[in-house]
A and B are shown apart, each in its own frame.
Chain A
């Protein structure tokens, strides 16, 4: 009897310790990066390009190239993936192919694509680039990043659209709406808050992904003039600056990491908040 009691006790203690361990590592991560970055963060570096002796002393220059590059890459990838992800998610619904084996196979395919490491997308993007004769460019980076976020966007949208109550669709069909009108005026409207959250989360993922743009978007100190120019990105800026042997430059890496972390946290935080706020407009 005693032994059983102690087992129960020990298990509970182990669980609480695991939870505390995980959550405090997250806390430590945020605290360390923010604390180190905050000292190095000088507001002018956010609006300046790297110049002069930046890569030697970390002075006279900033990370504007990376901030602009990352924004363009992530916005471009989200805009490119969206018109592809939404119809595929619709296709997975029972109104389209949902009842057939096609949808099952497509879900398995998408889940597998979701698990493919982003460096593999990067390598594949590079292979396609070489085949098409492109250089590392904003466009190649956008295409590759869109590939990375497409599967997770589709699967998340699929879940969201599936949660729309069936009676709503039935009512729409009973009123004589076509399949597309039902989707357009009922299903997508009803799911809109959650869809916005999905898009924002995918955007957050796109900003933080480094391995896929490493080959495809290149890196440069300048702002891109067109889709065919290489661009810098925040994650790669962190990576390259941290690899520098000069401590002053390494401090800039912490500053860049802080900018990256804060923007990702703000995006995923506001995604959840927005879902909460917008859910007022949903019929329950």
Chain B
């Protein structure tokens, strides 16, 4: 029979060990990827890897530039769609919507976040890709300046951007809504009392007070979009070339890793190159997350003021 103080000590030990394990887990994540990517970093200088444009593993050419740009194109397209859409939604939910509407819509937004990534991919393949394909054909016939040189299949940057926009919107909405809600009501009352319209209050008072937090929400969305794998992989076309138009196929970093894990052990340095891609993703995701947390913490201190 354990005494009460022994139980207490055991529990404290358990809590301490669990905390240490979490830290170790984070360290292991970085160390394992770095150790596996090390051979390629040793062989080529970092700039040659990041700015090399040729990807031919069999010949020992590992240029990440097309993949980095592919990720950037797809993510920026997604953000261009998702940011206005989700900020307007967040403003509506936080400032305008009556309580009953909010109580119905918020669970739906949560539901949107819990739909698995492959299901978004299935939706993308069966609905968004054909639509984008029709648009691409139209553009190719009537607006050759914007068109892609590739055949207009619909598997493109634009399709991936649209699917991703739907996937990251719930994250941005949830964080931005919470931030807007933390702005003191007295600020709004002051603006309304001075004769500002509802939109003017939102635009010049609430949004300005919540500015840092909204940037944080967008950064979180960006980080999420950058690492999303399966849905993008299914609709983006996977051609390792730098895209020149929204209707071009692209090949983002996560898709590169997911597509090639099968053959990576058969070619020298190939596995190191893929682990390097994972390391790049890890570093950029953590960087964006830290930046987002920093600005979110800044608004929290403003909110308390």
Chain A residues within CB distance 8 Å of chain B: 4-5, 7-8, 11-12, 14-19, 21-23, 25-26, 28-29, 32-33, 36, 83-88, 90-91, 96-97, 102, 106, 108-124, 126-128, 130-131, 147, 150, 154, 178-181, 183-184, 201, 204-205, 207-211, 214-215, 235-236, 238-239, 242, 253-254, 257, 260-261, 264-265, 268-269, 272
Q: Is the CB of B200 within 8 A of A117?
A: no
Q: Is the CB of B278 within 8 A of A120?
A: yes
Closest partner residue, chain A, to B294 (CB atom): A108
Closest partner residue, chain B, to A208 (CB atom): B116
- B254 to chain A: which residues have CB within 8 Å? 117, 119, 211
- B116 to chain A: which residues have CB within 8 Å? 207-210, 235, 260-261, 264
| A214-B261 in contact given A29-B123, A84-B21, A179-B8 (Cβ < 8 Å) | yes
Q: Is the CB of A117 within 8 A of B91?
A: no
Q: Give the CA-CA distance A172 to B295 in the complex, in Å.
A: 37
Contact of A18 among B7, B85, B121, B224 (CB under 8 A): B85
Q: Give the CA-CA distance A33 to B111 in the complex, in Å.
A: 15
Stretch at the interface among B24-32, B44-52, B146-154, B240-248: B24-32
| A91-B122 in contact given A8-B197, A22-B85, A150-B25 (Cβ < 8 Å) | no
Q: Give the CA-CA distance A84 to B122 in the complex, in Å.
A: 34
Q: Is the CB of B89 within 8 A of A22?
A: yes
- A180 to chain B: which residues have CB within 8 Å? 7-8, 10-12
Q: Give the CA-CA distance A272 to B107 in the complex, in Å.
A: 9
| A128-B32 in contact given A242-B122, A260-B119 (Cβ < 8 Å) | yes
Q: Is the CB of A116 within 8 A of B114?
A: no
- B227 to chain A: which residues have CB within 8 Å? 115-120
Per-residue interface assignment for chain B, residues 197 to 208, with 1 indicating a CB less than 8 Å from any chain A CB and 0 otherwise: 111101100000
- B92 to chain A: which residues have CB within 8 Å? 15-16, 18-19
Q: Is the CB of B278 within 8 A of A124?
A: yes
- B226 to chain A: which residues have CB within 8 Å? 117
Q: Closest CB of chain A to B75's CB: distance in Å?
A: 12
Per-residue interface assignment for chain B, residues 1 to 31, with 1 indicating a CB less than 8 Å from any chain A CB and 0 otherwise: 0001101101110111111011101101100
| A115-B289 in contact given A109-B22, A147-B25, A242-B234 (Cβ < 8 Å) | yes
Q: Closest CB of chain B to A128's CB: distance in Å?
A: 6
Q: Is the CB of B290 within 8 A of A210?
A: no
With an 8 A cutoff between CB atoms, is B293 at the interface? yes
Q: Give the CA-CA distance A41 to B216 in the complex, in Å.
A: 43
Q: Give the CA-CA distance A178 to B22 in the complex, in Å.
A: 25
Contact of A214 among B93, B108, B258, B281 (CB under 8 A): B258
Nearest 5 CB-CB pairings of A with B: A117-B227, A208-B116, A123-B278, A180-B11, A87-B18
Q: Is the CB of B169 within 8 A of A120?
A: no
Q: Is the CB of B88 within 8 A of A14?
A: yes
- A150 to chain B: which residues have CB within 8 Å? 22, 25
- B108 to chain A: which residues have CB within 8 Å? 23, 26
Q: Give the CA-CA distance A53 to B110 in the complex, in Å.
A: 40
- B126 to chain A: which residues have CB within 8 Å? 32, 36, 254
Q: Closest CB of chain A to B132's CB: distance in Å?
A: 15
With an 8 A cutoff between CB atoms, is B183 at the interface? no
Closest partner residue, chain B, to A214 (CB atom): B258
| A116-B200 in contact given A16-B92, A26-B112, A87-B14 (Cβ < 8 Å) | no
With an 8 A cutoff between CB atoms, is B86 at the interface? yes
| A119-B29 in contact given A18-B84, A242-B125 (Cβ < 8 Å) | no
| A123-B285 in contact given A18-B85, A178-B7, A239-B118 (Cβ < 8 Å) | no
Q: Is the CB of A4 within 8 A of B200?
A: yes
Q: Closest CB of chain B to A180's CB: distance in Å?
A: 4
| A124-B33 in contact given A32-B127, A207-B116, A215-B261 (Cβ < 8 Å) | yes
Contact of A116 among B86, B121, B229, B285 (CB under 8 A): B285
Closest partner residue, chain B, to A114 (CB atom): B289
- A118 to chain B: which residues have CB within 8 Å? 227, 229
Q: Is the CB of B18 within 8 A of A117?
A: no
Q: Is the CB of A253 within 8 A of B122?
A: yes
In the complex, besides A17-B88, A88-B22, 6 extra interface pairs with C-beta distance below 8 angstroms are A22-B166, A102-B19, A127-B275, A178-B4, A181-B7, A210-B117
